[in-house]
Amino acid sequence: MPQVTALPSAPPERDERMLVAVFCAYTATATLWLLFATAIGVLLAYKFGAPDFAPGAWLTFGRLRPIHTNATFYGWASLALVGLAYYVAARSCRTRLYSAKLAWIGLALFNIAAVAGTIALDLGFNDGNLEYREWPWPIRLIFLAALLVTAWNLIGTVARRTTHDIYLSNWYTVGGVLWTCIIAIVAILPWYQHGLGQVSVSGFYMHNAVGMWFTPLALGIFYYALPKLLSRPIYSYALGVFAFWTNLVFYPIIGSHHFLFTPLPWWLQTTAIVFSVAMLVPVWGGSANFLLTMRGRMRTMAHSYALMFIFVGVVGYLVGSTQGTFEAFRSLQEVWHLTNFTVGHSHLTMYGFVTFAIWGGVYALLPLATHKEPSQVGLTLHFWMAVVGSFIYVISLSVGGTIQGLDWLHGAPFIQSVIDMQSYWVWRGVGGSLMLLSHVVFAWNVWRMTYGSGAPIEPDRRAAAAPESPE
Ligand code: HEM
Ligand code: HEM
């Protein structure tokens, strides 16, 4: 059975320095985007209670909402995951980065796209009805270029591995980058952007952005960081490969579940529902693999915040995706579609799963790269504020969203649903503020682990910094 074992040999010093510099820069810039995007998120949350607050054109809900979603997707989560994927690829393949220069070019392109996209959206230039691809298309071309550069560099790194096998993590990260290049190309081709075809492509893009980009990259990080932190192999390599292929078969065709009861062909909607149920296979298979790897190690888990972040991420993946399957049924869509329940689901998954996975990965691996640790106080504050804040956020919107949907279903006047939502929106603001505070602490922790003066890493953890082989 393949397992992770530390090797005594170290890569040449210059390559090592380059890898660490790239990892630090991706993580640091991603953190800036997290701070910016979620400050906007909190402002948006309070606008629900006080719609007249900050009324200028530049601060209207319609402009700020896509700024928030695109900045969290492409500034925060994408940059952080690519930085982690580079580190994991070089380490697990016992090699150097294929090209540090390409990694810097990719970083510049991702950031140029995110800055230009943010400015364009705030000036009112918006590709309107295309969710998560509202940036004007020339800017999306820059993002596509960044993806292509990243794919080339990541594949190049895995191709020059000195190990025989390709470790599971790299299947997920390389697969994710390749699929996303295809998805991003389909989403920009002009002949797919008309009529019902456009609706279908919208569903395809929306769900594959989360399912074929963030999901495989985050899972790839779990597969590397968990064995590292627990010093034991992943429970089942075969189950990991099985979840990889079933994810690939089922995920790409579920996008139309975003458009049930629309003029899209009924059979297409039904197919999306059937495959949404089939998604239980990779989701439960993958989650079981992670949870069984952690089994019997509760004491180790309780002493490692990196493991606790990963644990929450795995639970977020399991619960959020299973919730998604139920959400896809027509009977439940009738209640929940277009309500705040969906926003709760988005944050349970993109925050409770993807964002916690990134934090777990960063706390597990960045200290191994830089030999600097954050403080215990910083870790404690970050973890608990993020957990409590997101719990309040998701629960309030799930309960409120259900009441909202039932109001509509029972034909109550629309304003009644707004009145019923008021207290839940206030709670969402409270939860969101805690989450934002936790991000400020995370930024401080990242500073200490990268360019600042963090505590020196424990000597026994230093051995784990060596490259390893999946054999
Ligand atoms: C794999 C199982 C999953 C299924 C079957 C599923 C199902 C669904 C459904 C049916 C909706 C549409 C709700 C509506 O419009 O009323 C939805 C929305 C959404 N899901 Fe999932 N989900 C799954 C996993 C995930 C994961 C892992 C993520 C994030 C990584 C995610 C992120 C989102 C987001 C962001 C939306 C909101 C899309 C929008 O703006 O309308 N989902 N999901
Ligand atoms: C302080 C933390 C955060 C707050 C307060 C916050 C707040 C909000 C608000 C108010 C909306 C608009 C909801 C609506 O249109 O009704 C929203 C949408 C969204 N946010 Fe966040 N957010 C936060 C963090 C994040 C993070 C870190 C991510 C992703 C990694 C994220 C992803 C999304 C997505 C995908 C949507 C669209 C939801 C949908 O249409 O279903 N958010 N957020």
Q: What's the pLDDT tens digit per position in 232-272?
A: 999 999 999 999 999 999 999 999 999 999 999 999 999 99
Task: Kindly state whether residue 6 falls inside one of the protein's structural domains.
Answer: no
Question: Mean pLDDT, to the nearest integer, of 333-347?
Answer: 97
Q: What is the pLDDT of residue 454?
A: 79
pLDDT band for 359, please (50, 70, 90 cuts): very high
Greater confidence (194 vs 147) lies with 147
Residue 7 has pLDDT above 50, yes or no: no
Question: Mean pLDDT, to the nearest integer, of 306-331?
Answer: 98
Residue 440 has pLDDT above 90, yes or no: yes
Question: Any idea which ligand is nearest the CA of 250?
Answer: 1
Q: What is the pLDDT of residue 465?
A: 65
User: From CA 100, how far away is CA 91, in angstroms rounded?
Assistant: 14
Q: What is the pLDDT of residue 369?
A: 95
Q: What is the pLDDT of residue 305?
A: 96
Residue 10 has pLDDT above 70, yes or no: no
Find out whether the beta carbon of 44 lies less than 6 Å from any atom of ligand 2: yes
Which mutation among 59, 72, 337, 359 tests ligand 2's pocket best, with the greatest number of atoms within 8 A of CB?
72
> Closest Cα to atom 11, ligand 1: which residue?
258
Mean pLDDT over each residue of the chain, to the nearest integer: 93
> Closest Cα to atom 25, ligand 1: which residue?
321
> Closest Cα to atom 14, ligand 1: which residue?
337
pTM listed for this prediction? 0.95
Find out whether the beta carbon of 206 lies less than 6 Å from any atom of ligand 1: yes
User: From CA 426, how far away is CA 417, in angstroms rounded?
Assistant: 15
Number of domains in the chain: 1
Task: Kindly state whether residue 13 falls inside one of the protein's structural domains.
Answer: no
Query: What share of the chain in percent tops pLDDT 90?
Result: 84
Question: Mean pLDDT, to the nearest integer, of 427-436?
Answer: 98
Instruction: Pick the closest to residue 134 from 187, 197, 79, 208 (CA basis).
Output: 187
How many angstroms is it from 159 CA to the middle of ligand 2? 37
Task: Kindly state whether residue 289 falls inside one of the protein's structural domains.
Answer: yes
Residue 471 has pLDDT above 60, yes or no: no
Q: What is the pLDDT of residue 127?
A: 83
User: From CA 166, how far away is CA 156, in angstroms rounded?
Assistant: 13
- Angstrom distances, CA of residue 193 to CA of 199, 201, 300, 418: 8, 8, 51, 34
Q: Are 221 and 361 in contact (CB under 8 A)?
A: yes
How many angstroms is it from 263 CA to the middle of ligand 2? 28
Non-local CB neighbours of 399 within 8 Å, separated by 6+ positions = 424
> Closest Cα to atom 22, ligand 2: which residue?
41
User: From CA 186, how far away is CA 169, in angstroms rounded?
Assistant: 26
- Angstrom distances, CA of residue 92 to CA of 5, 83, 150, 167: 10, 14, 18, 7
Task: Kindly state whether residue 280 falls inside one of the protein's structural domains.
Answer: yes
Q: Is 248 exposed, middle or buried (0-12, 13-18, 19+ CB in 10 A)?
A: middle
Q: What is the pLDDT of residue 13?
A: 85
Question: Mean pLDDT, to the nearest integer, of 389-411?
Answer: 98
CATH code of the domain containing 121: 1.20.210.10
Residue 361 has pLDDT above 90, yes or no: yes
Greater confidence (153 vs 127) lies with 153
pLDDT band for 455, please (50, 70, 90 cuts): confident
Find out whether the beta carbon of 328 lies less than 6 Å from any atom of ligand 1: yes
Residue 220 has pLDDT above 80, yes or no: yes
Question: Mean pLDDT, to the nearest integer, of 29-39?
Answer: 98
How far, rounded to the nearest angstrom, does the alpha carbon of residue 172 sit from its chain's CA centroid?
14
Task: Kindly state whether residue 304 falls inside one of the protein's structural domains.
Answer: yes
Amino acid at 192: Y
Task: Kindly state whether residue 88 falls inside one of the protein's structural domains.
Answer: yes
Q: Are 72 and 34 in contact (CB under 8 A)?
A: yes
Task: Kindly state whether residue 15 falls inside one of the protein's structural domains.
Answer: no
Domain span including residue 342: 24-465
Task: Kindly state whether residue 242 falls inside one of the protein's structural domains.
Answer: yes
